[in-house]
Amino acid sequence: MALSRPLRAAAALTPLALVLAACGDGGGDDEAAANYPEESVSIIVPFSAGGPTDTVTRLIAEPMAEALGQQVLVENVEGAGGTVAGSEAADADPDGYTVLMHHIGMSTAPTLYEDLPYDPLTDFETVGLVTEVPMTIIARSDFEPETMEDLITYLQENADSVNLANAGVGAASQLCGLLLQDALGVELNEVPYDGTGPAMTELVGGQVDLMCDQTTNTTNQINAGEVKAYAVTTPDRIDALPDVPTAIESGLDLEVSVWHGLYVPAETPEEIVTTLTEALQEALTNQTVIDEMAALGTAPVAEDQATPEAHTTKLEEQIDLWAGLISPGR
């Protein structure tokens, strides 16, 4: 097993240095943890501004700032399906001032990328889950099939001619698209974009046919009639889109949601993680957050899920699940 960054650094010390390090009382670190936060906190988002993960992050940033007593800044670091941001966060100082918001892609990355530069389980401390967002199967407004049943038949008969947009490898839209194709037993023409925003723009403009994406990114376009909605990927219909059936209602065995969580670098002091967890829990009970999430077809997780323990369990389970569903480099 590869050594963590702190252990790799310790391995390079001379014996005398190791003795001196062991004799240190760590008082400075303890004081910093006790006084945290003393400056603004940055939350790194691995995807473009205006996308679904960015939207969720910005919803909780202000109430978290109020709880922490410091500014919470949102920084978009795009690239490689979220792995650029993941690497930056993993390499940041473990002082609580760099936080990562990531979605289901944190659990698929170990399978999708053969040379992933970090280990989601050992290079991070979990802070807590934030929300689980339903997915929607949508199309350009003038796409021929009218219902989900029609779409199933159409895709099975015309797979070679259908273009399926996504926001790039590892994005939630790509993962949902893979599950859709697997459920139907077809291979569509996948068209990756540099983010959900450009993919949605092309779909609305009619340049591509189909997309599977989060309600936080599709609800407004569906309600405005800019795209055609076929199904949601939850067991039950959602309040924000009551007229859109579930995929299961239409006879398609497809159920997936996109969970989001907060992470900090490994070795971040427990006191700091606890402070961030408490700020997250306070943000998730904020009525504005609850209302705005509801309007986008989602909801905050329960308090017992906004914890490091529940988050770690979810991450471990999802890594195992996706390893059995997708193959490296797909």
CATH classification at residue 88: 3.40.190.150
What is the pTM for the complete model shown?
0.81
290 in any annotated domain? yes
Q: What angle do CA 225, 150, 179 make, to 5 degrees?
A: 85
What mean pLDDT, rounded, does the chain reach? 90
Is pLDDT at 242 greater than 90 in this prediction? Answer: yes
Q: Total structural domains in the chain? A: 2
pLDDT band at 327; cut points 50, 70, 90: low
Report the C-alpha gap between 27 and 219 in whole angstroms.
50
Amino acid identity for residue 195 in this structure: G
Task: Output the domain CATH number for residue 232.
Answer: 3.40.190.10
Is pLDDT at 17 greater than 50 in this prediction? Answer: no
Together in a domain, 249 and 114: no
Together in a domain, 201 and 213: yes
11 in any annotated domain? no
- In this prediction, residue 20 carries a pLDDT of 36
**The domain boundary residue, chosen from 237, 257, 277:** 257
Together in a domain, 145 and 245: yes
Together in a domain, 84 and 228: no
Residue 231: how many CB atoms within 10 A of its CB?
27
DSSP 148: H
Together in a domain, 68 and 120: yes
